[in-house]
Amino acid sequence: MPARERVTTAREIAAQVRSGARTALEVVEQALDAAWRLDPVLHFLDELDPEGALAAAKAEPTGPLAGVPFLIKSRTPPESPLLARLVAAGATPIGWSTRARAGAVSLTFGWNGREYTRNPWDLTRSPGGSTAGGAAAVAAGVVPLATGGDSGGSLRIPASFCGIVGFKGTYGRIPRPGGRPLGGLTTAGLIGADLDDVIVATSIASGPDRLDPTALPHWPVPSRLERPWRIAYHSTLGECAADPGVDRVLRERLAEVDVEVVDVPLELAPTDEAWSVLSALDNGRGVDAAGARRARQVRDLDNTALADLFATVDALVTPTTLTVAHGYDQHEQSIVTGDPCWVFNVTGHPAVSVPVGLSEGLPVGAQVVTPHGADDVALAVARRLLVELPPPPVSVGVRRASS
């Protein structure tokens, strides 16, 4: 059986660099070596930046993320407040990760211009998207963190497919370089191998910025909440059902942990048309007045339905994706797997995905959703559900138990 030495978290890396136990240069060189070795197999890189990464490491960074290597989602604006704040905290970008090819029917895959990004759990499967490369690299242990943006599940879907953590905070949690868009779908954020790493990095990146002064106030790292939780579980939020194996893993995990699962009905308005209208507004495309009114109605109806739900329970739990990772080459198919995700881009609720087990040998993610601003509750419930998975077959540090 494959075994793996415990992966060093971003927080531990930073502590080692600050104490002098390791240098930032040693850490970054290790990450670059892992990228060179694993990218030919997983194809997670859009571009590597060894010169820039090594120069930054030689500058002996300090701060809460001193020396921590990370990947930037491709096509992220260089002036992004998320990037600036991570770098100011001492983190070192080593390059840009792949995302879905523009114009593809399915965005739950990655593409580097030559090859499709592969899932380290199974090279015939996709790591999800559109933060595909970052998720594959984090799951494989190349870097502990990667950046992304979530308009319809682009942080949570790849986190689910790859067995890691993806966190979309309450809308506006992290400022965006373009300021507040008209539609308001996208939340900048992070994926990581460790829940607390993602929390710390999100806190660092939070707060208003001159490019986005309407962002939410700075979000301090929340205290750990330990109390009985009332949970509503819904295996699907739309017309398509979850795969029985995925549903079973979620139900078994909920039965194992100390939460009260209650049956509370939830009827949400269909999101498809509203999401498309809001996406068009965000991207500068025109919409007709009737479509805009309908999108607003859907957002209001769903916000009201969720407010009624959260008056009864602390959190809503769903599968993050209705299936485990699909084939990496199914990009031209209309794949229904991320339906539980995009309604919360329309409403702006915080949502986090954490691994809770395996089905067919592939990761299953649980999505935890809470009221606006209750990000700390979402993360506390997610912590209780989270399961530490074994290493994927393609990863840094995997060794044979007999070695």
* Distance separating alpha carbons of residues 85 and 24, to the nearest angstrom: 18
* Distance separating alpha carbons of residues 183 and 279, to the nearest angstrom: 6
Query: What secondary structure does DSSP assign to 315-340, as a single string?
Result: EEEEESSSSS--BTT-TTS-----HH
Residue 154: active-site member: yes
Residue 130: active-site member: yes
User: CA dihedral in degrees (308, 312, 314, 319; nearest 10)?
Assistant: -70
User: CA dihedral in degrees (288, 292, 295, 296; nearest 10)?
Assistant: -170
Choose the catalytic residue: 73, 74, 97, 353.
73
User: CA dihedral in degrees (284, 288, 290, 292; nearest 10)?
Assistant: 0
Structural tokens at position 162: 């790859």
Say if CB 51 and CB 8 are below 8 A apart: no
* Strand-strand pairing, 315-319 and 229-233: parallel
Determine the 3-state secondary structure of 146 from DSSP.
strand
Which residues, 6 or more positions from 283, have their beta carbon under 8 angstroms from its beta carbon?
A: none
Choose the catalytic residue: 106, 130, 203, 353.
130
Beta carbons within 10 angstroms of residue 54's beta carbon: 17
Q: Which of 135, 386, 394, 395 is nearest to 249 (CA)?
A: 386
Residue 220 phi, psi (nearest 5): -65, 155
Place of tokens 């995700």: 341
* Distance separating alpha carbons of residues 168 and 174, to the nearest angstrom: 9
Choose the catalytic residue: 80, 97, 106, 154.
154
Which residues belong to the active site? 73, 130, 154
